[in-house]
Structure 1
Amino acid sequence: MQRMASYDRAMRLLFCFALLGGLLAACVSAATVPPSTPSPPPFSSSDPLPTPRPRRLQAGELELAADIDAIPAIFASPDLFVDARAGSEEWPDEEPVIGVELGTEARAYPIRLLSLHEIVNDTIGGEPVAVTWCPLCYSALVFGRTVAGRELTFGVSGYLYRNNLVMYDHQTNTLWSQVLAQGLKGARRGDRLRVYPSLITGWGAWKRTHPHTRILSAERMGRRADEIIDPYAGYYTAGSAGLLGSDRQDTRLAAKALVVGVRAGDKARAYLVDSVREAGILQDRIGALSLILVYDRKLQTVLTYRSNIGQRRLTFVAPAGEDTMRDIETGSLWDIRSGRALQGPLAGQTLHRLAAPLVFWFAWSDLYPHTELFAPPE
């Protein structure tokens, strides 16, 4: 009975969010109608992690919380974005944004706006992508929209899987888990989406480190930024976790502790953001995957890299400054933001950035019940 009452409350709350999204859709219909676009040629994924086994859904695990497309995805065009100068007239420096850089292009997506839409179908650096935000899990992931040589577009299905956003694609009607980055049900079940690195930071920090960035404009969508309210603003710091509850509560950390989640094959491990911040750099190994997590003090976020160049595994020491670190083996100086060696024997080499999401602990441990929790060395 208690779980049913919790579910009823969740349904009422989500209905309010869906209604708000529907009202907003009327203002931005030109931005939320899927355009007719030809399929691009296929590209090869450089994702180094193997595809995990498909999830076996248990009865009731896919929970319907809102009607399909009640939360309207955005179908972006270049004219919905403005440069950093114009963007600063709309959005304050402290505005949380999802930052993405592909090729020579950088984009910022205000979370306050994404909380009303959850998905932006876009193209960055010539790559069709879906920028996604799950407010319940505090997780931002950017996916390639080309699957098996076919360009897909994504919408909000209205389902939740263990409190996480479930997307669907218009072309095959497959249901996709955001954090798992994998098809749950439908024609592409078991397929894994290519995940691009992204981060959550403040607009001011992002534009200072990416001066040529463009940002999604509320005004270009027929809205005023100062009138947009994130319906989840109170939830991020509230004691409650998720809307639909969970039968799997992992008490090793507080439910809403922020962690960086890393998956390597069938293994998963979580790293407490506070631990990375305190150490500056954390070095680890998961099976064959050697990695480092670096805290970027300018962006106030965590960047995750493979710690090897070719077959050579490197050991890194705490940042030499706000923007650099050194490896012990060669003494080369590395830029923490690009992963590129600036000086020394390895100058010009670049570390591979891993797409490791920031996420609430309750969500990560629910989606990966056997996850390990990294314990920093004493």
Structure 2
Amino acid sequence: MRVQLIIGFLILFISEILKVYFIMPFPGSQQSDTIELAYFLHQYIWYLRILGIVLLAYPLWKNFKIGSKLTKIILGGLTLLWLGVVYLFNFQLTADHMFYQPKNKTMASGSDNKIAKDKLILGVVHNGQAKAYPIQLIGYHHQVIDTVGGTPMMITYCTVCRTGRVYLPFVNGKYEQFRLVGMDHFNAMFEDQTTGSWWQQATGESITGKLKGKTLRSFPSEQVSLASWLRQYPNSLIMQADSLFKEEYSGLKNYDSGKGKSELTTRDSLSWKLKSWVVGITLGKTAKAYDWNTLLQKRIIYDTVEKHHIIIVLEKDGKSFHAFKSESPFGMLDLVLKDNQLIDSQSDAVWDMDGKCISGKYQGSSLPKIQAYQEFWHSWKTFQPNTLVMK
């Protein structure tokens, strides 16, 4: 009976703890490829609980009937401890009990907006409608479901990876709902309501479950300051803070500048360290990363990717960045950054920071935009394992 008691309690304790340990940022939990084991534990936890209880039922009954007082105290204590573990690991330490969706989602015009203009936002434009989502807010919520230009969108952000992504929440043509379930390799994971499959925030890919290998369609977005966004889209709506989450938002008040409360969200000021900032782009089949410190110093980076001449430029605010193909409808450009404008050294045509030609030979045209992300180096190299690096 002693062996049976030990095995029963081990099954109950280990399965309950590992079910959460593997998908939350506990020491050592995010380095290994344990996602399939974590998913197994989530799917079959009730079977494991029943197995443990069945193994314990007779020995517990027998010991409480004829066992010594000390034995009864120990077994009773272990049972109460297990119940405490169940409560802690299912109602306190799980992602969807730590991070909630906004209860009062309010979108305000520029005139009614209460978000500071220097705050970073994730901006989306579709069918003539622009909306801005402050990172301080969506960083806590991890995802916000909204409609932009008549299309449902899933606005996501993972503060531990510094990844902002926008997806269309449709799976096999059907609108799907998602909940935050945890993280894998320090990246947020969402679970779809229909099949219970788990989806990676950084890539939009289902990494385990019935839909493994499926990918959500991504949608273009920009990470810039609210001031920069409103310059481009003065009629944009801006997500406002939900008064129910004031304390949670305050914990991210310095996140924009890389000063988080947690070591997991704090920037490393040196280059090419795990939590250094990079700008990542994917053009064609090529992914490439650029050092944020270099961009801060030079404010413009030139490169050639997939035979395209590209530039990455940083605005004067030191926050808002843009990536463009350095070309016009008539050929390649030789763009030089002067003040807060881009000037073609060959024709003296002038582009603003939004990529619009405001004077000269190409007036009225725009530079082709490239989707670019600012994130931690550990995130970009994990989810873009074949990335090239410009050093």
TM-score by length of 1: 0.68
Give the 5 Å matches for 1:17-32: none
Secondary structure of the 2:167 match is strand
Task: Give the distance between the partners of 2:22 and 2:383, measured in 1 at CA.
Answer: 23
**1:242 deviation in Å?**
4.2
Residue 377 of structure 2 aligns with an amino acid whose one-letter code is W
1:202-261 CA-to-partner distances (Å, cap 9, x unmatched) read x4554465432322223xx45374774326968953698649xxxxxxx97122221111
Residue number in structure 1 paired with 2:64: none
**Residue 279 of structure 2: which of 244, 260, 268 is its match?**
260
**Residue 83 of structure 1: which of 109, 112, 118 is its match?**
109
Task: Give the distance between the partners of 1:258 and 1:60, measured in 2 at CA.
Answer: 26
Give the 5 Å matches for 1:93-172: 93-146=117-170, 149-158=173-182, 160-171=183-194
What is the aligned length?
309
**Residue 223 of structure 1: which of 244, 257, 261 is its match?**
244
**1:110 deviation in Å?**
2.6
Task: Give the distance between the partners of 1:173 and 1:265, measured in 2 at CA.
Answer: 32
Q: CA contact under 8 A between 1:106 and 1:212: conserved in structure 2?
A: yes
Percentage identity across aligned positions? 22
Greater alpha carbon shift after TM alignment, 226-235 vs 91-100: 226-235
**1:130 deviation in Å?**
1.4
1:37-88 CA-to-partner distances (Å, cap 9, x unmatched) read xxxxxxxxxxxxxxxxxxxx954478679647433345986xx212223322
Residue number in structure 1 paired with 2:259: 237
Larger RCO (CA within 8 A; separation ≥ 6): 1
Task: Give the distance between the partners of 1:309 and 1:75, measured in 2 at CA.
Answer: 46
Change (3 A) 1:240 1:222: closer
**1:156 deviation in Å?**
1.5
Structure 1 residue ranges without an equivalent (≥5): 14-56, 244-250
Secondary structure of the 2:279 match is strand
**Residue 334 of structure 2: which of 298, 307, 315 is its match?**
315
Change (3 A) 1:334 1:357: same
Residue number in structure 2 paired with 1:326: 343
Q: Which structure is higher in helix share? A: 2
**Does 2:385 align with 1:364?**
no
Secondary structure of the 1:357 match is strand
Q: CA contact under 8 A between 1:139 and 1:179: conserved in structure 2?
A: yes
**1:304 deviation in Å?**
1.0
Residue 198 of structure 1 aligns with an amino acid whose one-letter code is E
Secondary structure of the 2:112 match is helix
Task: Give the distance between the partners of 1:177 and 1:313, measured in 2 at CA.
Answer: 37
Change (3 A) 1:74 1:145: farther
Residue 259 of structure 1 aligns with an amino acid whose one-letter code is V
**1:124 deviation in Å?**
1.5
Structure 2 residue ranges without an equivalent (≥5): 1-17, 40-88
Residue number in structure 2 paired with 1:301: 320
Residue number in structure 2 paired with 1:270: 289
Larger radius of gyration: 2
Task: Give the distance between the partners of 2:357 and 2:116, measured in 1 at CA.
Answer: 33
Q: CA contact under 8 A between 1:137 and 1:359: conserved in structure 2?
A: yes
Residue number in structure 1 paired with 2:80: none
RMSD (CA atoms) = 3.8
**Residue 283 of structure 1: which of 283, 302, 315 is its match?**
302
TM-score by length of 2: 0.66
